[in-house]
Amino acid sequence: MTAQPAQYLQETAAWTRDNFEISVPVNVSYELLEEILAEKLQQLISENFSRFIFLLYRTDVAEKKVKGILEDAAATGEDPYKPIAALIIERQLQKITSRATYKQNDLPDDEERW
């Protein structure tokens, strides 16, 4: 995990709570969020695979990376859930960071925003 402001992690936790319909503590650590999300992914993969795919698409996680994790897990016998959870969290953190970086607060009115 790259160093991110704590606020970004909390925004990611809120997004995860809303989109994955899971209970996440307010001041969650990266590791705990990864663990909670991994448990939900395990449930989704076994019970509602189409929802799992939809959420990956919505999160905009690279399909190649997920396939790689699944192939590695199949080859080694390890669970793929935590690595996939980490991909989802990292992607969401990237999006939040990007929005914060390119925010256009300095424009005078909405008409000049594109």
pLDDT at position 3 over 70:
no
pLDDT at position 103 over 80:
no
Cα 56 to its chain centre, rounded Å, is 9
How far apart CA 113 and CA 1 sit, in angstroms, is 33
Domain range summary for the chain, segments of one domain joined by +: 6-98
Burial class (CB in 10 A: 0-12, 13-18, 19+), 92: buried
How far apart CA 75 and CA 63 sit, in angstroms, is 18
How do residues 37-78 score in pLDDT, each as one tens digit? 999 999 999 999 999 999 999 999 998 999 999 999 999 999
How far apart CA 97 and CA 103 sit, in angstroms, is 10
pTM strictly above 0.85: no
How far apart CA 40 and CA 78 sit, in angstroms, is 17
Among 11-15, 29-33, 54-58, 97-101, which stretch is predicted with the lowest mean pLDDT? 97-101
Position 3, amino acid: A
